[in-house]
Amino acid sequence: MELLNTSNITMKFGGLTAVKELNLEINKGEIVALIGPNGAGKTTAFNMITGVYAPTSGRIFLGESDITGAKPHLITKKGLARTFQNIRLFKELSVLDNVFIANHLHLKSNIFEAVLHLPRYKKEKKSILEKSLFLLEKLDLLSFKEDKAKNLPYGMQRRLEIARALATNPQILLLDEPAAGMNPRETDNLTSFIKDIRDEFELTIFLIEHHMSVVMGISDRIYVLDHGVTIAVGNPYEIQNDQRVIEAYLGVSEDA
């Protein structure tokens, strides 16, 4: 079943066409990767899908609903969450609060109930807390729950970002270069971790990555962009042997 679908989305910045007529089809439960040279428009594609930018043209569908140009928070409410290429945690807040906040969008109590601690809010708060702690435990972050996010080592910050994204109850998770700044060893761990959370939370995953070990290891399908144009779509094997991809992106193989 198709979960995310874009039809001919295009993004122009002034004279520059960052993404041109991109057509994505991502099915439920898949892990799909988006790769391409620097500046190919991968992050821009993410930003269009998540509502940070409104596409210049084209439409985006999440399940049945048209989310083109919707505000990011509404898109998140519909079940699409993301992480960022440059980590964007709430730096001064505690690890627990970072995850807690990501539950706010589903809060039903209004502000008066919250300020006055009325029963509905109390109940909701309790369940949010439980869920947050559960997520932290799942991601091995429980022992840091009181620390400020900015004091975590980089790798853990990346994990916290994923935990935070998971807290919004997404159906589909977008990861922008989750392995950036990790060493090969950590990168390997990440690969299995992504598979795990996909199974555990019944997610669909769409990721951008430059580490081929990750991409080739977990992707069901891969889209390749170059200068905003989709130059190839296929499974890892097909992509690795696609001449255009090798020329534009991978280089002659000598084991990346």
Build a one-symbol-per-residue string for 185-214: x at contacts with another protein by CB under 8 A, - elsewhere. xxxx---------------------x-xx-
Build a one-symbol-per-residue string for 113-152: x at contacts with another protein by CB under 8 A, - elsewhere. -xxxx---x--xx--x-------------------x--xx
Asked if 11 and 21 touch (Cβ cutoff 8 Å), the reply is no
Closer by beta carbon to another protein, 18 or else 197 = 18
Does residue 191 bind ligand ATP (CB under 6 A)? no
d(CA 42, CA 44): 5
What distances in angstroms separate CA 116 from CA 102, 110, 120, 122, 140, one per listed residue?
22, 10, 11, 10, 34
Interacting positions 211-250 with another protein (CB under 8 A): 212-213, 217, 248-250
CB of 179 to ligand ATP, least distance (A): 12
Interacting positions 37-76 with ligand ATP (CB under 6 A): 38-44
Closer by beta carbon to another protein, 25 or else 39 = 39
Does residue 85 bind ligand ATP (CB under 6 A)? yes
Partner whose footprint covers residue 132, from ligand ATP, Mg ion, another protein, none (CB < 5 to 8 Å by kind):
none
Interacting positions 18-37 with ligand ATP (CB under 6 A): 18, 36
Closer by beta carbon to ligand ATP, 154 or else 237 = 154
Among 73, 87, 209, CA closest to 160: 87
Partner whose footprint covers residue 213, from Mg ion, another protein, ligand ATP, none (CB < 5 to 8 Å by kind):
another protein
Closer by beta carbon to ligand ATP, 200 or else 247 = 247
Question: Which one of residues 77, 138, 145, 198 is an interface residue with another protein (CB under 8 A)?
Answer: 77
Does residue 43 bind Mg ion (CB under 5 A)? yes
CB of 180 to ligand ATP, least distance (A): 9
Residues forming the site for ligand ATP (CB under 6 A): 13, 16, 18, 36, 38-44, 85, 151, 153-154, 181
